[in-house]
């Protein structure tokens, strides 16, 4: 799994996830699809504590929540999530497992929000995060 996949997956969910406790959450699953919403919530639940401790990451997430289709803002969030996941390989593994356990649902990603997901990215990377990215992260730390 590429960090770009995480961001593309989370982008349509962030407007709802960043407003936890507000009425806007009620329509989230209809807006992005139940499978995407459930997986997005689970991933964000893992990432949010780390994102909230890093001002740049929190700002990037808030920016994407306001403009989920803006690729420049997504790039900023990718950089911040990359730093977080490289620093916490256990968290990276947990997120990889969430994607792996939900892999049967990936074909539906983007069905309700076509701009939210690039299937070519998914086809090339979704199943390979644990092996490839973790190996790369560990090698970079040497």
Encode pLDDT of 40-74 as tens digits: 888 999 999 999 999 999 999 999 999 999 999 99
Looking at residue 11, what is its pLDDT? Answer: 87
Looking at residue 34, what is its pLDDT? Answer: 67
Q: pLDDT tier at 27 (50, 70, 90 boundaries)?
A: low
Looking at residue 133, what is its pLDDT? Answer: 52
User: What is the C-alpha separation between 37 and 87, in angstroms, rounded?
Assistant: 26
User: What is the C-alpha separation between 40 and 18, in angstroms, rounded?
Assistant: 12
**Token pair in block for residue 109:** 């990603």
Higher-confidence residue of 39 and 30: namely: 39
Unique residue bearing structure tokens 């730390």: 141
Q: pLDDT tier at 38 (50, 70, 90 boundaries)?
A: confident
User: What is the C-alpha separation between 33 and 28, in angstroms, rounded?
Assistant: 8
Looking at residue 4, what is its pLDDT? Answer: 87
How many domains, in total, are found in the chain? 1
Domain that holds residue 111: 3-141
Higher-confidence residue of 29 and 109: namely: 29
Residue 21 Ramachandran class (φ > 0 left, ψ -120 to 50 alpha, else beta): left
Q: What is the pTM of this model?
A: 0.66
């Amino acid at each position: 799994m590429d960090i770009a996949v995480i961001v593309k997956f989370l982008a349509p969910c962030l407007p709802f996830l960043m407003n936890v406790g507000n009425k806007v959450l009620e329509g989230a699953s209809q807006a992005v699809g139940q499978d995407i919403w459930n997986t997005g919530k689970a991933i964000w639940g893992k990432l949010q504590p780390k994102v909230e401790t890093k001002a740049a990451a929190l700002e990037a997430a808030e920016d994407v929540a306001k403009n989920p289709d803006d690729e420049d803002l997504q790039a900023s969030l990718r950089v911040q999530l990359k730093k977080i996941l490289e620093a916490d390989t256990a968290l990276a593994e947990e997120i990889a497992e969430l994607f792996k356990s939900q892999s049967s649902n990936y074909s539906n990603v983007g069905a309700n929000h076509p701009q939210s997901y690039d299937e070519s990215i998914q086809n090339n990377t979704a199943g390979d995060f644990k092996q490839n990215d973790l190996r790369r992260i560990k090698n970079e730390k040497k």
